[in-house]
Structure 1
Amino acid sequence: MSKPLAVQLYSARDQIAEDRDAVLRRLAGIGFGAVEPFQPLNDPAGFRKVADDLGLTVCAAHAADLVQGVEPAKVFDALGTLGTDQAIVPGGIPRAEFATADGVKRVADRLNGLAEQARARGISLGYHNHEHELEYLIDGRHALDVLADALAPEVFLEVDTYWAAVGGADVPALLRRHADRVRLLHVKDGPAVVGEHNVVVGSGSVPVPEYLAAAPDAWRVIEFDRCATDVLDALEASYRYVASLPR
């Protein structure tokens, strides 16, 4: 069975703050079959009930709390309530750590330690990139490549294809290099310039089909960091485009 298209709920964070359940209903009505929450500690039981009622799978959850001082067990409990066994660290680690080999080793040690705690709870840990992990080069290699070499085998990657492109990576080559680690892709479009708004997937400068073809088995998660138009309408148009592409 193919994985249903997912949406990172951070895309509609302002709308969710006003009426979470209405947003989830809209997303399910668009056709999304999976969601990726970004605040797992925020009413996980209530979220799970609404998601279940709408037939939405929680494919994974962003869990920045894991590196922001929250007791990991509390986060893992919330993930269990949400019904996912995939926790993703999406940020919260100082950018400067990726500028040196020693810094990357510290990041890897931290993630590996969290992965060990997660594994004891039946949860897998992943890491989500932004642009800086690709911009920083260590002995001519992207810091993300150096990090991947230092991660325990069970730590997976959620590659944000847009930010990887902004950081200067050859995204298809990056995905193929780490095919054994890449479980999820963030799919977005735009001018690939820091600070600019994202646009409907398929209408910007990003070669989305090429990126998706390089990681055909990864879960496709549509996301907007910033949107100059109605984000729910933009998500609907993005869904239609990505759904039309071959698996």
Structure 2
Amino acid sequence: MINPLNVQLYSVRDPLSADRDGTLRRIAGIGYRAVEPFDPMNDPKGMRELCDDLGLAIPSTHAYALLGEETGPVFEAIATLGAELAIIPGGIPHEEFTGRDGLLRTSERLLALAEQGREHGVRIGYHNHWWEIEPVIDGQHALELLAPEIFLEVDTYWAYVGGADVPALLRRLGDRVLALHVKDGPGVKDQPHTAVGSGVVPVPEILSAKPGALRIVELDSCDGDIFDALEASHAYLSALEVR
């Protein structure tokens, strides 16, 4: 396996809030070896120490808070976690992705954050949903038109829902893609996700298109027990890796 299978902790936000230590132990017990926090400001020192104890790496974190006015404390928290990649997972108006002017403004905003990030040893990336995929401008999905200096964490499920040929999109984006959110489900916007491998998304073809990227399982919502779904996802993805 090129990279350890990873879990975006938003998937387990409710049990995490109730029992952080127990939740992370369950994730490690399933066999995951990395996690991606969704709020670096939530006790980064304690999170790092616990993950170190459990053998869980933290290569990346989402960081909505970087869109606020005070970025210094956020970068300090990211450094405490030990993450080298900080990802903006939304928080920018959907309308900014419907035309070139909005995309230019968004690119400039992300590039300014990237300049700050370099001073802290952190790379800035962007994570898509469907609204950065649905608009097609001169034959390209809006996501493709963001500044190429910004790396991408492609949410493969939302790219699929947004109408992309996801393997082809990943091949076009090339080295810009450092991470993939791997999820599955019915392929529509307002229904719960399923364990990876049990929905309509062509997961093997997607992963083959970008074999070196971080593989981060995320289930925004899930019918049934989330830990069962994470375990089934881990089993499916691990089996794919050995073929």
TM-score bracket, shorter-length normalisation: over 0.9
Decide whether the 8 Å contact of 2:148 with 2:176 is kept in 1. Answer: no
* Unpaired runs of at least 5, structure 1: none
* Count of residue correspondences: 242
1:162-201 alignment runs, 5 A limit: 162-201=157-196
Q: Taking structure 2 as the reference length, what is the TM-score of the superposition?
A: 0.97
Q: Which residue of 2 aligns with 1:115?
A: 114
Quote the Cα distance in structure 2 between the aligned partners of 1:164 and 1:98.
Answer: 14
The structural deviation recorded for 1:125 is 0.6
Quote the Cα distance in structure 2 between the aligned partners of 1:139 and 1:171.
Answer: 18
Decide whether the 8 Å contact of 1:133 with 1:142 is kept in 2. Answer: yes
Q: Which residue of 2 aligns with 1:37?
A: 37
Question: Percent identity, aligned pairs only?
Answer: 58
Structure 2 residue identity aligned to 1:203: S
Q: Which residue of 1 aligns with 2:140?
A: 141
Decide whether the 8 Å contact of 1:190 with 1:206 is kept in 2. Answer: yes
Decide whether the 8 Å contact of 1:11 with 1:231 is kept in 2. Answer: yes
Give the alignment partner of residue 216 of structure 1, picking from 202, 211, 214.
211
Residues 101-121 of structure 1 deviation map (CA, whole Å, 9 limit, x = unaligned): 100000000000100000111
RMSD: 1.1
Decide whether the 8 Å contact of 1:134 with 1:142 is kept in 2. Answer: yes
User: Given the alignment of the two structures, is residue 101 of structure 1 paired with residue 100 of structure 2, yes or no?
Assistant: yes
Quote the Cα distance in structure 1 between the aligned partners of 2:18 and 2:155.
Answer: 27
The structural deviation recorded for 1:179 is 1.4
Q: Which residue of 1 aligns with 2:79?
A: 80
* Unpaired runs of at least 5, structure 2: none
The structural deviation recorded for 1:72 is 1.3
SS at match of 1:39: coil
Quote the Cα distance in structure 1 between the aligned partners of 2:66 and 2:38.
Answer: 12
Quote the Cα distance in structure 2 between the aligned partners of 1:157 and 1:232.
Answer: 27
SS at match of 1:88: strand
Residues 81-100 of structure 1 deviation map (CA, whole Å, 9 limit, x = unaligned): 00111100001000010011
SS at match of 1:220: strand
Q: Which residue of 2 aligns with 1:50?
A: 50
Between 1:196-205 and 1:136-145, the stretch displaced more is 136-145
Structure 2 residue identity aligned to 1:183: L
Q: Could you list the runs of 4 or more consecutive aligned residues of structure 1 that deviate by over 6 angstroms after TM superposition?
A: none
The structural deviation recorded for 1:3 is 1.2
User: Given the alignment of the two structures, is residue 158 of structure 1 paired with residue 157 of structure 2, yes or no?
Assistant: no
Quote the Cα distance in structure 2 between the aligned partners of 1:13 and 1:246.
Answer: 28
Residues 26-81 of structure 1 deviation map (CA, whole Å, 9 limit, x = unaligned): 000000000000010000001111000001000200001111x1411111100110
Structure 2 residue identity aligned to 1:219: L
Q: Which residue of 2 aligns with 1:241?
A: 236
Decide whether the 8 Å contact of 1:189 with 1:205 is kept in 2. Answer: yes
Quote the Cα distance in structure 2 between the aligned partners of 1:116 and 1:201.
Answer: 36
SS at match of 1:27: helix
Decide whether the 8 Å contact of 1:6 with 1:59 is kept in 2. Answer: no
Q: Which residue of 2 aligns with 1:12?
A: 12
